[in-house]
Structure 1
């Protein structure tokens, strides 16, 4: 019985050594070749460098930064509720259809009648969270009011 086990082990070892021999021969054949990855790297290095191009947008497509603007305005058609209280215009009592202005780290409310009041409970961070992207840039405040349908 032991002689059968020894013969089987010898056969398995010969089989394994044959697989190892083939793998070693394949490795020797490939040792003379350059791997495809290295070939691609060499070709990439031989290619001429890409030209340097100005990647900035043209001036007509650039958006001014916040420090280049005097302020930003957004419409707020709903009632504005702060600290559980509906904010109303101090002069006419209007409580909806606001324009909210953010300028110089202050937030101002402007009603449809044109009355403005400083709102200390709002700050620039609140304005930034609730405003969407701007759709226009205006040279004057009056142009902005006309664009938003206020007088």
Structure 2
């Protein structure tokens, strides 16, 4: 019971000191309040630097490209079955094309077939970095050796 009385006495002493301090500071104003601001100093003009890459190092964004492709040299296995060209039966050395949200497989003979079991997310996970951009589909085929 005595500890409650001591605690109340201590709190009342703290309240009394806080009230005295507040009364003393009541009419004081912090420095800088009510004083007109100083004229701003003129800022030196610095040369603006273009922080973008030079045009020859820029890669077009995904909405500026009609599609992307990557080579797939080994046999292509989906759902436990090896994928083969429906026209010639080739099963390796594919080009995998991603365009308009679809995935297409192109065999070495030039036959193309849509692969519905794959999506652009799979393509993006498995492709490597882009090493070149080409203006036409044929230029890209030549670049990849087809």
TM-score where L is the length of structure 1: 0.66
Q: 1:71 aligns with which of 58, 67, 74?
A: 67
* Distance in structure 2 (CA, Å) of the matches to 1:49 and 1:145: 50
Residue of structure 1 in register with 2:97 after alignment = 101
* Distance in structure 1 (CA, Å) of the matches to 2:145 and 2:59: 23
TM-score where L is the length of structure 2: 0.68
Structural mapping, 1:2-81, within 5 Å: 51-81=47-77
Question: How well do the aligned residues superpose, as a CA RMSD in angstroms?
Answer: 1.8
Deviation at 1:57, TM superposition (A): 1.1
Higher helix share goes to which structure?
A: 1
Aligned residues: 106
* Distance in structure 2 (CA, Å) of the matches to 1:88 and 1:120: 14
Unpaired segments ≥5 residues, structure 2 = 1-42
Residue of structure 2 in register with 1:9 after alignment = none
Query: 1:120-145 CA distances to partner (integer Å, 9 max, x unpaired)?
Result: 00000000000001111111111111
Q: Tell me the secondary structure at the aligned position of residue 60 of structure 1.
A: helix
* Distance in structure 1 (CA, Å) of the matches to 2:121 and 2:46: 43
Which runs of at least 4 in structure 1 moved beyond 6 Å after TM superposition?
none
Residue of structure 2 in register with 1:92 after alignment = 88
Query: Mean alpha-carbon deviation: is it higher for 100-109 or for 135-144?
Result: 135-144
Unpaired segments ≥5 residues, structure 1 = 1-46
Residue of structure 1 in register with 2:112 after alignment = 116
* Distance in structure 1 (CA, Å) of the matches to 2:103 and 2:47: 47
